[in-house]
Chain A
Amino acid sequence: GAGVSQSPSNKVTEKGKDVELRCDPISGHTALYWYRQSLGQGLEFLIYFQGNSAPDKSGLPSDRFSAERTGGSVSTLTIQRTQQEDSAVYLCASSLTGAGTEETQYFGPGTRLLVL
C-alpha cells in the first residue's frame, strides 16, 4: 500500500470490554512496531515484530495486552478487559527490514482509544 494504515481510527469502549486494533504495514516491510501515546506524552514502545516473530514482548504494559502478526503483514494489538488508563493513541509503524538502527520507521495515523 501507499502507507501504513490503521483501523479503526477511533474506538470508544466500556471498561472491561476487549478491543482489537489493526495495522496494515507498507507492502514488503518486514518489521512492524506498536507504540502507545497518552495525551500530551511521548511515544511508549510496546512491541516489535520481525516477520511474524516478536523478539521481545517485555514492552507490553500488562498481560492484558497481546499482539500478533500473520503472513508477515497485518498485525493486531488486542487489549483485554480494558481499563481507563488504556485510553491513548496507539501508533503502528513499519520499516523495510528492521535489521539495523538506521532504518526509517513509517508511521500510521494511529487509533484513538477511549475507555469509558
Chain B
Amino acid sequence: LAKTTQPISMDSYEGQEVNITCSHNNIATNDYITWYQQFPSQGPRFIIQGYKTKVTNEVASLFIPADRKSSTLSLPRVSLSDTAVYYCLVALYSSASKIIFGSGTRLSIRP
C-alpha cells in the first residue's frame, strides 16, 4: 500500500510562495496524486490532482518528478486565508481497497 509522508507543520508569511512536499515511495502505476485542503470544523476540499510532470490551476501547482515517488504542492503568494491543513492522497481502488491520506501539513501564514 502506498504510504505518504509530509512535514507536520510549516510557517510562512503573506505574499510568499509555499512548497509542501509529500513522499509516496510505493506509489502504484495507476495511482494519481491528489491534494486536499482542510479548514477547522470543515471537511477537506479538493485543491489539485496530477499523475506526472506539472499541473497548474487557479489555486496551486503540483510538481511530480519522473519517478513519482514524491510530489510538491506549490501555493503562490499565500494569504492569511491559506492557513489550513494540507493533505496528500494516494488512493488504491483494488479489491483490497485502502485509501491513505497523509498525516497532513499544518500551514500557518503570518502577516
Contact = CB atoms under 8 A, between A and B. Distances in A.
Interface of A: 4, 33, 35, 41-43, 45, 48, 55-56, 58-59, 91, 93, 98-102, 104-110
A107 B45 CA distance: 7
Interface centre among A58, A93, A100, A102 (most CB of B within 10 A): A102
Given A55-B95, A101-B30, A101-B91, A107 B100 contact: no
Given A56-B95, A98-B93, A45 B42 contact: no
A33 B98 CA distance: 11
A42 B95 CA distance: 24
10 contacts: A4-B43, A33-B99, A42-B103, A43-B44, A45-B98, A91-B44, A104-B46, A105-B36, A107-B45, A109-B42
A101 B91 CA distance: 6
Nearest to A100: B93
A56 B110 CA distance: 43
Interface in B83-111: 87, 90-93, 95-104
Interface residues of B, number: 28
Most chain A C-beta atoms within 10 Å of own C-beta, residue among B43, B92, B96, B97: B43
A35 B38 CA distance: 14
B34 interface: yes
